[in-house]
Structure 1
Amino acid sequence: MPIPPLSTLLLAGWAYLHFYQHGFHVSALNGLHQAMTCELSGGKIERSKSIGLRLDSCVPMNASEFGLVTAAFTVGGLLGAISADSVTRRSGRVRTLQIASLLFAMGSFCIGTGNSVSRLIVGRILAGGGSGLSSVTVPLYLAELAPSLRGVLSILAQLSVNCGILTGQLVSFPYAQPLLWRQAMLVPICLSGLQMLGSTIALRAGRRRMAEIREKQLFEIEDATMDLDDDQDSVAPLGVMEIISSTDPYIKRGFIIVLVTQMSQQLCGITPVMSFSTRILTPVFKANSRYIATLMLIPKLPITLIPAFLLKRVPPKDLLRYSCYCTAGSALVLAIGLNTNISSLSILGISVFVSAFSIGLGPVTIVVLSEVLPPHARTAAGSIGVALNWSTSFVMASIFLPLQEALKTGPESGDGNIFMLIFPICLVASVAITSSYRALERISRV
């Protein structure tokens, strides 16, 4: 595999910061929830003045309210994903990512200075908006940056998400204290400043690269425009409604695969597991649940790199299918471990669950878009697919804690029953992915 030039690596690194931000916000509240919700202070609220702002030491919230604040991130993600196509058409990919950086900073500031549930929700929605724009735009930017390496670059994008998730969990250790939890939001604010700085370099690099391509007359390659910002594709890009109403059988079947894989990624339960892992493990590990939740993330990083080597040998559909099977089996093991209070089974279940997702459903889903659809259909289809992903993520994050309580068989028993429900969902997702790929293959053989 050829080594990309330094400029390509730097531009990819800048793009990865947006996924890193996404990962951070996914897990940031997971380890801070006791300090945020006044659980750690026993309901006592103290007020402090900092940088001219009156900040409460915590924000009183019950489990449902905290779940709503957590899920609000996915609402912003949905709005960002839906608007990504139109924003990119008007502003180009790089300027779209600049807007995403601003939303990350504004959202983090609102969370860090919020004294009410509503203010926290607004902050999470803004940060989610930045993530939604990024989740559609970054994969397309990477595919244009180095078309021959788009599979590997997409896998590394998932690695950056995982690094952000781990960072968000690690930040909770020094900052999970009353009032101090607000300082954790300085991390994404500083990252946003770095992203804005990098975007100015990306704009200049994009223009310079376009000039080189025009001079060498390389417009015959797949991503002929190679436009990293404002240039137009040789084929006019399809809009959202054009994708939905398209009669091209290849586009129709490819679009269905995008929808199925995006929905399957979230229905298999990764968002609640990442967002509430500390609470999920608390019945078994009590005060040590935060440490266990962090430790399970460490092997997730190297495991994410495995698909980068497998994609040349194993078709994406097989990686996705195997990932669903392993996720289903681990959900069953986790359910048994939580219900029987067996710590070893609980650790095994949640570790394999996260690892199985990291091999297939996590990184490979990003690759699918550029694999099954032509370039002119990717932006709109990606916007719809990611919007569906965010919608499903919101539903899963919103209903997880209430549903877990409803499925319990007693005050201290049945915490794992909800994973009994995730087990068959993962099996159904595997069947749906296999069927949608077979439909596309039948058309390709004609």
Structure 2
Amino acid sequence: MALPTASAAADDIVVSDEKPSGYLWMIALIAALGGLLFGYDWVVIGGAAPFYEEHFHLTNAADRGWAQSCALIGCLAGAVISGWLSDRFGRKGLLVVSAILFAISSIGTGMAGSFDGFVLWRILGGVAIGLASNLSPMYIAEIAPSNTRGRLVSLNQFTIVTGLLLAQLVNLWIAQKMPQAFGWLGADADKSALLGWNQTSGWRWMFGITAVPSLLFLLGMLVVPESPRWLVRKGRTEEAGRILARIGGDTYASRVLASIEDNVDTGGKVRVREMFDRKLLPILLLGIGLAVFQQWCGINVIFNYAGEIFKSAGYSIDDTLQNIAWTGSVNLVFTLVAMAVVDKLGRRPLMLAGAAGLAVVYLLIGFCYSRGILGGSVLSLVLVAIACYAATLAPVTWVVIAEIFPNRIRGVAMSVAVFCLWLACFILTYTFPIMNEKLGAANTFWIYAAICVLGFMLVLLRLPETKGKSLEQIEREFTD
């Protein structure tokens, strides 16, 4: 059966009257720490790039692109294994594994003695990102009441951008203040001495310090419960009921548990070929399309290549680091906006607004580069693009792909969608320096504008509204 169109009637929308309890917020926040590490580890490389590139003598676009994008190979692997392993061993256990991998890989990257070693440790860190990026939003979606699910899943995006900003601020402090603060350089050290320290040691601290929040995530995950929906699938209904009661009370638990049991399929291992069932394939393709669009809309090149973009706009290294911190601040503020409105305005209007807004901003950025209008003009437009993305596509895409897949196949289907997301991100990240060098910044951003127009059409024609509906209700509407 085809997907319901955006105009399809939703005659049985169920809005829960339960308010999120302190316990629910606690376990959602702990799970969302996976997003914080995802964001931190993903963006820390942007501030470190000018220094490790000099240290490892990376002089051509292909090598720089490989250094930036190699973690995505690990992301792909993590996304592939996360669905099958989480369906077999649970959501919680795999999130614990991701925390351990974050800690180990961050220390390993910081201690890398060669470029090959650097790449291998970054790939291992990418596995952790692939696991966390899939499992954190899925876990939160499975524990959240329907009327607050958008806000709680968006909490994962909030922690992602908190990680982005934290990485940017820590990078700035390490690059400019750390050696003097610890007495490794004299208070009167000039810029040349500071640059030399950053090229030998500073970038190592930028990566290695990620181990601290990794350990906090690990400790937190030891106290959160397993997903009730996964427990029901495994026949552990009483345990699921106790968790649901603690989240929303006995009445809430009995109603939700009955809904889950009516829809759950305990038929054993999910096989990939099931994704090609005529009822499920359109849902899978929609999830893949939205995941790919979130990456190919182009915003991640601003985070990963902020130094290169701002340098081309006429900024020095010091000014660039400060501008990167500004991008993180704007990202954080407008993610809060998304959290406030996603359960009120709905998923579809926000996705449409994000696609249209980014298309316009990229056209203007391309125009600025083509006319040589750089400096503050480019910085302002970059900040507008980030604000638009943070309030719309960044959090809402994760909400939607955590909602639309049926319970039985959610783990594997999200794994496939997130795999495609990271594959798209790899292509985007690897190709940007090459496109920028061959086509120029103006044409590169105009290409991203065209992709945003295509994404707008995908959302307009194929994405129905899901706000206020239980996961089981969404499943019935998509598959009946």
Query: Is TM (by shorter chain) over 0.5?
Result: yes
1:6 deviates by 2.4
1:419 to 421, 445, 457: 445
1:184 to 206, 215, 225: 206
Matches of residues 350-389 of structure 1 in structure 2 within 5 Å?
350-389=382-421
Mapped pair 1:201 → 2:223:
yes
Q: Is the 8 A contact 1:336 1:345 kept in 2?
A: no
The 2-side partners of 1:397 and 1:324 are apart by 20
Gap change, CA 1:240 and 1:190, over 3 Å in 2: farther
Provide the residue aligned with 1:307 in structure 2.
Answer: 338
Provide the residue aligned with 1:61 in structure 2.
Answer: 58
Output the TM-score relative to the length of structure 1.
Answer: 0.85
1:318-347 Cα shifts (integer Å, max 9, x gaps): 211110111111111112223313323202
Gap change, CA 1:158 and 1:390, over 3 Å in 2: same
Mapped pair 1:36 → 2:65:
no
Gap change, CA 1:445 and 1:125, over 3 Å in 2: closer
Q: Which amino acid aligns with 1:430?
A: F
Mapped pair 1:403 → 2:435:
yes
The 2-side partners of 1:266 and 1:161 are apart by 15
2:306 to 266, 273, 277: 277
1:209-256 Cα shifts (integer Å, max 9, x gaps): 636259959455278669xxxxx95554773514422122xx333222
SS at match of 2:47: coil
Mapped pair 1:119 → 2:111:
no
**How many pairs align?**
413
Q: Is the 8 A contact 2:86 2:94 kept in 1?
A: yes
Matches of residues 140-151 of structure 1 in structure 2 within 5 Å?
140-148=138-146, 149-151=148-150
Provide the residue aligned with 1:8 in structure 2.
Answer: 24
Gap change, CA 1:117 and 1:304, over 3 Å in 2: same
1:272-325 Cα shifts (integer Å, max 9, x gaps): 111111211112232122211221221221211223333334331221111011
SS at match of 1:296: helix
Q: Which amino acid aligns with 2:242?
A: E
The 2-side partners of 1:111 and 1:444 are apart by 44
SS at match of 1:285: coil
Q: Work out which structure has the larger RCO, using CA pairs closer than 8 Å and 6 or more positions apart in sequence.
A: 2
Gap change, CA 1:6 and 1:422, over 3 Å in 2: same
The 2-side partners of 1:18 and 1:101 are apart by 7
Q: Which amino acid aligns with 2:292?
A: M
The 2-side partners of 1:283 and 1:221 are apart by 54
**Residue segments in structure 1 that go unaligned for 5+ positions in a row:** 39-57, 227-231, 409-414
Provide the residue aligned with 1:46 in structure 2.
Answer: none
SS at match of 1:61: coil
The 1-side partners of 2:353 and 2:359 are apart by 10
The 2-side partners of 1:13 and 1:236 are apart by 32
Q: Is the 8 A contact 1:147 1:223 kept in 2?
A: no
SS at match of 1:154: helix
**Residue segments in structure 2 that go unaligned for 5+ positions in a row:** 1-16, 176-197, 232-237, 467-473
Q: Which amino acid aligns with 2:295?
A: Q
The 1-side partners of 2:68 and 2:122 are apart by 7
Gap change, CA 1:116 and 1:306, over 3 Å in 2: same
Q: Is the 8 A contact 2:83 2:413 kept in 1?
A: no
The 2-side partners of 1:102 and 1:183 are apart by 19
Mapped pair 1:241 → 2:272:
yes
Gap change, CA 1:322 and 1:235, over 3 Å in 2: farther
1:36-83 Cα shifts (integer Å, max 9, x gaps): 122xxxxxxxxxxxxxxxxxxx32222432221110111111110011
1:158 deviates by 0.6
Q: Is the 8 A contact 2:364 2:381 kept in 1?
A: yes
Gap change, CA 1:204 and 1:15, over 3 Å in 2: closer
Q: Is the 8 A contact 2:365 2:445 kept in 1?
A: yes
Q: Is the 8 A contact 1:239 1:380 kept in 2?
A: yes
Q: Which amino acid aligns with 1:392?
A: A
Provide the residue aligned with 2:184 in structure 1.
Answer: none
* Aligned residues with identical type, % of pairs: 21
Provide the residue aligned with 2:235 in structure 1.
Answer: none
